[in-house]
């Protein structure tokens, strides 16, 4: 059937409730849906005491928004369980942190099957269905089992796992079948595509739908917010003091303890004549009821306290650690003021903080981006100082280099980085993904495990 002219159906874990959404990805999806018309579907949030059956419309206009409820059991097994205690560590190369408990697999598959039935009821011929992130890996397979033949695309916002880690997945044999059910399986980097190919080769499978679409930001909007916020900034720093900024969710994949240790290596080699540099680390908590996150919080706070205790002076605290959200507008202004952006995850799908730091800078006097080689952004942003986040000495040396870098070199590196951020922005990403999804179907692989997977529910 012809796919031309149909609606766009977007499916994501969460759905914006504001009439005018904010944030790069949310704005991009909002604009795509407004232009094309369609439906945005997501969960209503946390567990509901009396979950409603089916989809509930929460807003309408140029497009409609529908929410589905999660019961307490759904939330524990599907969201906190399989999605965040199994898939998240696996995809971030921490198979050692996988915590499989009874009911998780069944809960994850049941939510995806239930959602597939809801989508199948509203999908019309020609609609494009665009699924986002690891919460819904089996969704296309469930849709195909119900007879839905619309073009269905996927975008994975986190890294794709290595072939050697996938066997740790309780349903490892089904992974390629989940991928194969999509017409386009979008990922952040070419490295992710290579990992998918390696997985297929390991089991003598064939995968042709993996594509790299590095996600971007709205650089103009972020720059404008940074300029406006910086004009009214009242953050206190002593004369000549340098500011290093890190912004991350409190997550073991972000390498925050390693980052503090790298900053500690810089402090250890710092000379008295060097300017005093403060690392401002903003790390709002996430998933605090998962044990691994409680551990990382305790370790991070202990490391920060030890470094401040050793190196702080009466007029200088080397590490400022904020464990709560900072408004996006205020954060943009702080980014503009920062001399160094420290983006050093151990594993990351893309990391938009790196691109936001570049967009926020003053081109006439820009700061320096230090970027982990394990961030997806490193593929595009080679003019940053690329570091191994596991090597504290290397990170310490990079900080020293960034703080002492000449203006000419800073401007040259920033100009090259900004060109990439502006060229492959969030609008480029959205259009690239949708163009691929609307294209001709290039292959179809028999999915032998669909029936077995769904019949087990």
In this structure, whether the domain defined by 8-216+427-455 belongs to CATH 3.40.50.2000 is answered with: yes
Q: What angle do CA 78, 140, 60 make, to 5 degrees?
A: 80
Structure tokens at 187: 């990922």
Encode pLDDT of 27-60 as tens digits: 788 888 988 899 999 998 889 988 999 999 998 8
CA atoms 247, 253, 256, 259: torsion sign:
negative
* Distance between CA atoms of residues 374 and 198, nearest Å: 18
Which band of pLDDT confidence, cut at 50, 70 and 90, is reported for residue 19? low
pLDDT in tens, 358-394: 999 999 999 999 999 999 999 999 999 999 999 999 9
Question: Quick check: 288 pLDDT over 90?
Answer: no
Annotated catalytic residue, options 157, 218, 258, 339: 157
What pLDDT, on the 0 to 100 scale, is given for residue 11? 97
- pLDDT tens sequence across 212-226: 999 999 999 999 999
348 a catalytic residue: yes
- pLDDT score recorded for residue 27: 79
- The predicted-structure confidence for 289-298, as pLDDT tens digits, reads as follows 666 677 888 8
Over the stretch 313-355, which tens digit does the pLDDT of each residue have? 998 999 999 998 898 889 999 999 999 999 999 999 999 999 9
pLDDT band at residue 440 under the 50/70/90 scheme = low
CA–CA distance, 259 with 389 (Å, rounded to integer): 7
Contacts for 425-428: CB closer than 8 Å, 24+ residues apart: 425/216, 425/217, 425/218, 425/219, 426/24, 426/25, 426/27, 426/28, 426/215, 426/216, 426/217, 426/218, 427/28, 427/31, 427/216, 427/218, 428/216
By the 8 A CB rule, do 155 and 186 touch?
yes
Question: 78-92, 215-229, 317-331, 436-450: which has the minimum mean pLDDT?
Answer: 436-450
> What residues does 250 pair with on adjacent strands?
285
Query: How far apart are the C-alpha atoms of 305 and 307, rounded to whole Å?
Result: 6
CB atoms within 10 A of CB 121: 10
Question: What are the CA-CA distances from residue 67 to residues 131, 151, 216, 230, 352 (Å)?
Answer: 15, 22, 27, 37, 27
**Which residues have CB under 8 Å from 33's CB, separation 6+?**
8, 10, 39, 40, 62, 63
User: Pairing state of beta strands 128-132 and 152-155?
Assistant: parallel
Asked if residue 2 has pLDDT above 70, the reply is: no
Q: What length does the chain have?
A: 457
* Three-state secondary structure readout of 293-351: HHHHHHHHHHHHHHHHHHHCECCECCEEEECCCCCHHHHHHHHHHCCEEEECCCCECCC
Q: What is the mean pLDDT of the chain?
A: 90
User: What is the fold of 219-423?
Assistant: Rossmann fold (3.40.50)
Note the pLDDT tens digit of each residue in 161-177.
999 999 999 889 899 99
Q: What is the pLDDT of residue 236?
A: 65
Query: Tell me, what's the pLDDT at 20?
Result: 53
Indicate the pairing of strand 184-187 with strand 152-155.
parallel
Burial label, 257 (beta-carbon count in 10 A; 0-12, 13-18, 19+)? middle
Catalytic residue flag (residue 258)? no
Where are the CATH 3.40.50.2000 domain residues in the chain?
8-216+427-455, 219-423
Rounded (10°) CA dihedral 245, 248, 253, 257 = 50
User: Taking 80 as the threshold, does the pLDDT of residue 442 lie above it?
Assistant: no
Integer Rg of the chain from CA: 23
Looking at residue 233, what is its pLDDT?
67
Is-contact 307 263, C-beta < 8 A? yes
Q: Which of 218, 251, 348, 425 is catalytic?
A: 348
Q: Which of 146-160, 168-182, 232-246 has the highest mean pLDDT?
A: 146-160
């Amino acid at each position: 059937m012809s796919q031309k002219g149909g609606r766009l159906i977007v499916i994501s874990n969460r759905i914006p409730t504001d009439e005018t959404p904010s944030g790069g990805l949310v704005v991009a999806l909002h604009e795509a849906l407004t232009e094309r018309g369609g439906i945005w579907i997501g969960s209503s949030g946390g567990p509901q005491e009396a979950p409603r059956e089916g989809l509930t419309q929460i807003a309408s206009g140029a497009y409609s928004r529908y929410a589905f409820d999660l019961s307490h059991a759904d939330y524990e097994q599907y969201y906190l369980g399989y999605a965040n205690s199994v898939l998240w560590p696996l995809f971030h190369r921490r198979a050692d942190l996988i915590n499989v408990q009874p009911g998780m697999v069944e809960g994850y598959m049941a939510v995806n099957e239930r959602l597939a039935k809801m989508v199948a009821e509203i999908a019309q011929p020609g609609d494009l269905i665009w699924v986002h992130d690891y919460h819904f890996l089996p969704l296309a397979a469930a849709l195909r089992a119900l007879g839905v033949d619309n073009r269905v695309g996927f975008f994975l916002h986190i890294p794709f796992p290595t072939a050697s880690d996938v066997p740790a997945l309780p349903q490892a044999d089904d992974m390629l079948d989940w991928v194969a059910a999509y017409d386009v399986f979008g990922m952040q980097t070419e490295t992710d595509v290579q990992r998918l190919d390696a997985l297929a080769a390991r089991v003598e499978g064939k995968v042709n739908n993996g594509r790299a679409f590095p996600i971007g930001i709205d650089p103009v909007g972020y720059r404008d917010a940074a300029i406006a916020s910086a004009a009214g900034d009242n953050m206190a720093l002593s004369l000549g003091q340098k500011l290093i900024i890190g912004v991350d969710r409190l997550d073991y994949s972000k390498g925050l303890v390693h980052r503090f240790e790298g900053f500690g290596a810089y402090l250890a080699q710092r000379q008295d004549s060097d300017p005093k540099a403060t690392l401002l680390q903003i790390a709002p908590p996430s998933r605090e009821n998962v044990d691994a996150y409680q551990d990382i919080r305790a370790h991070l706070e202990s490391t920060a306290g030890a470094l401040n205790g050793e190196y702080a002076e009466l007029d200088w605290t080397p590490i400022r650690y904020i464990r709560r959200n900072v408004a996006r507008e205020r954060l943009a202004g702080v980014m503009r003021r920062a001399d160094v952006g420290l983006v050093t995850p151990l594993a990351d799908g893309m990391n938009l903080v790196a691109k936001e730091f570049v967009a926020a800078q003053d081109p006439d006097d820009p700061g320096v981006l230090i970027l982990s080689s394990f961030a997806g952004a490193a593929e595009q942003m080679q003019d940053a100082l690329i570091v191994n986040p596991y090597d504290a000495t290397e990170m310490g040396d990079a900080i020293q280099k960034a703080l002492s870098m000449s203006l000419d070199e800073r401007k040259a590196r920033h100009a090259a980085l900004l060109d990439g951020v502006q060229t492959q922005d969030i609008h480029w990403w959205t259009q690239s993904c949708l163009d691929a999804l609307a294209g001709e179907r290039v292959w179809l692989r028999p999915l032998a495990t669909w029936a077995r997977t769904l019949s087990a529910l």
